[in-house]
């Protein structure tokens, strides 16, 4: 059985690298490339390259994009468990500027046809994992079915509530042992589920006690890890479940990096966090977060999404 099961999306990424990001009405010159992406696939490759036996549950079209997913996954030892779709394999349009910042447009295609029936057929796979990791680029009911099945089997569940415009239900959040939003996603979740409205840019500046209190309102029974880019990460635990840590909340500084492309950095963090948890489940949680931070930093030093994932294990 795979130690990690990632449930999510695969996209063929079309990437333009340009000096500045295009604004409305502007035409800019750029350098084009294409390669694999999608949050689910990125995270599966990250977990595998971080040393974990990994399966990827997804939906793929019967086209060149689907064939690419299977071929590239096999090169990293990832087992693809795919529902066949009549829709084309998902695509992504990505613009990256000279500072590594990006904007992304997704064409979901087959990703939006992943069915609850197919998820139900993967019950044994999900229940046999150490960690199940999912995002929100697939139908929400299918993601909730996967997280719920894994949680009921006692498997550690991680929900990366991305992208920010996807609306995770409160029931999905409650089935997640670990929630990993970035500051934009966290602000959105607070507005929807806690009734606390704030700007994403203000999240990192909050004092620890206030930020911890908001995390506890959002996910009373689990751990929240807010990824804050160059600022690092903030961790908030339930008081009765510190996951080997000595304090209920704390910050972890970002690792230094020679950044060229931030595309997929959040996915690198999530895949590495899952791999580290599977590798040493009894280790203090802060060690897993520090490894995930380091892994994500290394991913920004190369261009691409899935292709940028480093080969770095928790023992390195």
231 is in an annotated binding site: yes
Q: Is 133 helix (H, G, I), strand (E, B) or coil?
A: strand
Name residues whose C-beta falls within 8 Å of residue 296's C-beta, 6 or more positions apart in sequence: 227, 255, 265, 266, 268, 269, 272
93 is in an annotated binding site: no
Q: Residue 280 is inside which H or E element, if any?
A: none
Residue 125 phi, psi (nearest 5): -65, -45
Query: Angle at the Cα of 207 (from 203 to 211), degrees rounded to 5?
Result: 55
What are the tokens at 106? 């997704």
Active-site residue (options: 63, 207, 267, 316): 267
302 is in an annotated binding site: yes
40 is in an annotated binding site: yes
β-strands 102-107, 90-96 pairing: antiparallel
Region of residue 60 (phi > 0: left; psi between -120 and 50: alpha; otherwise: beta): beta
113 is in an annotated binding site: no
What are the tokens at 119? 């998820």
35 is in an annotated binding site: no
Radius of gyration of the chain (CA): 18
227 is in an annotated binding site: yes
145 is in an annotated binding site: no
Q: Are 300 and 259 in contact (CB under 8 A)?
A: yes
177 is in an annotated binding site: no
In angstroms, rounded to a whole number, what is the distance separating the alpha carbons of residues 206 and 201?
10
263 is in an annotated binding site: yes
246 is in an annotated binding site: no
201 is in an annotated binding site: no
Q: Are 292 and 273 in contact (CB under 8 A)?
A: yes
DSSP assignments along 201-256, one per residue: GGTTTS-HHHHHHHHHHH-TTSEEEEE-GGG-EEEE-BTTB-TT-SSSEEEEPPPP
112 is in an annotated binding site: no
Active-site residue 202, yes or no?
no
270 is in an annotated binding site: no
232 is in an annotated binding site: yes
Which residues fall in the annotated binding site?
11-13, 38-42, 137, 182, 227-232, 261, 263, 266-267, 293, 299, 302, 304, 308
Give binding residues for K(+) as ranges.
261, 263, 299, 302, 304, 308
* Residue ranges at the known binding site for ATP: 182, 227-232, 266-267, 293
Query: Which residues form the catalytic set?
Result: 267
**Numbered residues of the known binding site for substrate:** 11-13, 38-42, 137, 267
């Amino acid at each position: 059985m795979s130690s990690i099961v990632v449930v999510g999306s695969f996209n063929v990424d079309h990437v333009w690298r340009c000096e500045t990001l295009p604004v409305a009405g502007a035409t800019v010159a750029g350098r084009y490339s294409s390669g694999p992406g999608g949050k689910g696939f990125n995270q599966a490759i990250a977990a595998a390259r971080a040393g974990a036996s990994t399966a990827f549950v997804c939906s793929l079209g019967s086209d060149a994009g689907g064939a690419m997913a299977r071929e590239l996954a096999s090169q990293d030892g990832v087992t693809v468990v795919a529902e066949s779709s009549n829709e084309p394999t998902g695509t992504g349009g990505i613009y990256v500027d000279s500072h590594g910042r990006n904007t992304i447009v997704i064409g979901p295609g087959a990703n939006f046809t992943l069915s609850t029936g197919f998820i139900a057929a993967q019950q044994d796979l999900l229940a046999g994992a150490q960690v199940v990791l999912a995002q929100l680029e697939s139908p929400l009911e299918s993601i909730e079915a996967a997280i719920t099945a894994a949680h009921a089997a006692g498997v550690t569940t991680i929900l990366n509530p991305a992208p920010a415009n996807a609306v995770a239900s409160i029931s999905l959040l409650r089935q997640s042992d670990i929630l990993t939003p970035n500051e934009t996603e966290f602000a959105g979740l607070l507005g929807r589920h806690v009734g606390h409205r704030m700007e994403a840019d203000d999240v990192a500046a909050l004092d620890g006690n206030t930020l911890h209190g908001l995390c506890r309102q959002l996910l009373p029974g689990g751990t929240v890890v807010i990824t804050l880019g160059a600022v690092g990460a903030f961790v908030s635990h339930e008081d009765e479940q510190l996951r080997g840590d000595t304090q209920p909340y704390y910050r972890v500084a970002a690792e230094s990096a020679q950044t060229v492309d931030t595309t997929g950095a959040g996915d690198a963090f999530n895949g590495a966090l899952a791999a580290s948890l599977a590798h040493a489940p009894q280790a203090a949680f802060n060690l897993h977060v520090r490894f995930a931070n380091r892994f994500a930093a290394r991913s920004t030093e190369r261009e691409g999404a899935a292709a940028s994932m480093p080969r770095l294990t928790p023992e390195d």
